[in-house]
Amino acid sequence: MRAIMVMFDSLNRHMLPPYGGRSVHAPNFERLAERAVVFDQCWIGSMPCMPARRELHTGRYNFLHRSWGPLEPYDDSMPELLKQSGIYTHLTTDHQHYFEDGGGTYHSRYNTFSFQRGQEGDAWKGEAADPSPPPHIGGQSGNRLMRQDWINRKYITSEDHFPQALTFREGLEFIAVNRNADNWFLQLETFDPHEPFYAPERFRELYPHAYDGPHFDWPSYGRVKETAEQVEHVRYEYAALVSMCDYYLGKVLDEMDRLGLWEDTLLIVNTDHGYLLGEHDWWAKTVQPFYNEVARMPLFVWDPRSGKRGERRQSLVQTIDLAPTLLDYFGLPIPEGMQGRPLGPIVAGEESEREAVLFGLFGAHVNCTDGRYVYMKAPVRPDNSPLYNYTLMPCHMRSMFGVEELRTMALAPPFSFTKGVALMRTDASSMTAAHSFGDLLFDLQSDSQQLAPLQDTDAIERMSGLMRSLMRESDAPAEQYERLGLEP
């Protein structure tokens, strides 16, 4: 038995043809939908990149207890559990966050890994002199990321130099080398179509349009301030990158056809979250409420055990379900601490008994959906207090915890999932002003675009009850209830 996961970053569900999108040229996603089961109610869990990947490894929510950070010593990591049981695991990726302070314990859980350089502001090519970019808007102007990105692009001069192309080449090589071997798992993961939206010209030519403004392929995280023409342009730049993703996905499907891998190889195609391209007058993610453009994700699963293809499923599923799915597929026990559930039975046609799911960003809204209603619970205080990080790995995205932060440290008793291990507790802050948005309730049945928040007391009471129940099941810290003004 073999398994392949093709994982993208910031892939928008609503723009893909299998989900009704007609703005993107993506024939291989349509081809995939004919070969696999398509999930219509797949939701994010913890935002953004590495919190989602901690869920992928552990099958547990991250966002209620800590911010972005490494795997913890007490975590059960799915790739490591596979490795320890004789299932060979390999990661090929161009996702640079795996190699920063806040992601440094993930890639080493696999037997082997390969890393392709150059995405976003990856600290790759060293040039002391500042680059000379063309006039541009958006992005991370003036900081290290954008400076480094302009340097990196000078070394990406043809399509076969693009990190995504190199990542898929490495993944296809692994498949070819190991085609006659058994018991392996390949995670083929590209950072695309995450910003900046930089794609080879042949994919950009799929979206001809008149634009004579400044260079713009990297929106800033915040309110839309650009012109309608500029918004349209960056959407085309994003679409070009999605079409590139579609092309390389097609190469994996071709290889599965050529080698007959459909007979005994599980295929999962997924992402970590979506991305706002001007909808709701916002760019990107993490600084605003998580509207459906971010919170609902595409998910495709081919399971050779059931052989179901060309069908759709309405069960509520999340990233936390992927770890138990892979463990179950290889016949391994699922650790008690995993909250997720194997998707195999759902792919085969069983309905999930899950009534609702949680999702969110550490220190922001806590969100709950039952598939129809989405309830977003905001902090009740402008200072978002009280809020604490619980960790044994004191790292943020690109730095260790600061000395002042560590001076607030106290020893906290174990949670139900930390295997009796006490944790460091430090004062924390949030990257978003969630209090300013207030509580929000949307009925997706009557308002699929989430344009008109409801004031429905009965629905709020029901969704609040589901939220509290799921938080209790997650052993959420007591201060999370206080922060949100909820009864435990």
* Residue written as token pair 């007058």: 281
pLDDT of residue 432: 86
| Cis before 196 (ω within 30) | yes
Distance CA 486, CA 432 (A): 20
Contact 242, 24 (CB under 8 A): yes
Would strands 373-377 and 440-443 be described as parallel, antiparallel, or unpaired? Answer: antiparallel
**pTM as predicted:** 0.97
DSSP letters for 69-101: -PPPTT---HHHHHHHTT-EEEEEE--GGGGSG
The sign of the CA dihedral 395, 397, 402, 407 is negative
Secondary-structure breakdown of the chain: helix, strand, coil percentages, each rounded to the nearest 5:
35, 15, 50
pLDDT of residue 144: 87
Where the chain has pLDDT below 70, the residues are: 140-142
Distance CA 442, CA 181 (A): 49
Alpha helices in 85-226 (DSSP H): 144-153, 163-177, 201-204
Alpha helices in 435-474 (DSSP H): 457-473
Distance CA 132, CA 336 (A): 54
Contact 26, 242 (CB under 8 A): yes
CA neighbor of 272 nearest in space, from 193, 365, 169, 162: 193
SS3 241: helix
**In what order do the strands lie in the sheet containing 311-313?**
112-115, 88-93, 184-189, 2-7, 265-270, 300-302, 37-39, 311-313
CA neighbor of 40 nearest in space, from 281, 297, 257: 297
Contact 41, 355 (CB under 8 A): no
Residue type, 119: Q
Q: What would the CATH number be for the domain defined by 2-348?
A: 3.40.720.10
CA neighbor of 362 nearest in space, from 47, 43, 106: 47
Can you read off the two tokens belonging to residue 479? 């201060």
CA neighbor of 12 nearest in space, from 279, 187, 271, 281: 271
Cα within 13 Å of Cα(279), Cβ side: 20
pLDDT tens for residues 345-403? 999 999 998 999 999 999 999 999 999 999 999 999 999 999 999 999 999 999 999 99
Cα within 13 Å of Cα(132), Cβ side: 0
**In what order do the strands lie in the sheet containing 388-391?**
388-391, 423-427, 410-412
Residue type, 334: I
Neighbour count for residue 105 (Cβ, 10 Å): 19
Distance CA 215, CA 53 (A): 32
pLDDT tens for residues 406-460? 999 999 999 999 999 999 999 998 878 999 999 999 999 999 999 999 999 999 9
SS3 352: coil
Distance CA 65, CA 421 (A): 14
310: left (phi over 0), alpha (psi -120 to 50) or beta: left
Would strands 2-7 and 184-189 be described as parallel, antiparallel, or unpaired? Answer: parallel
Distance CA 384, CA 144 (A): 29
Indicate the domain borders of the chain: 2-348, 365-484
pLDDT of residue 141: 52
pLDDT of residue 253: 98
First to last CA, the chain: 44
In the chain, the largest separation of any two C-alpha atoms, in whole Å, equals: 61
pLDDT of residue 431: 77
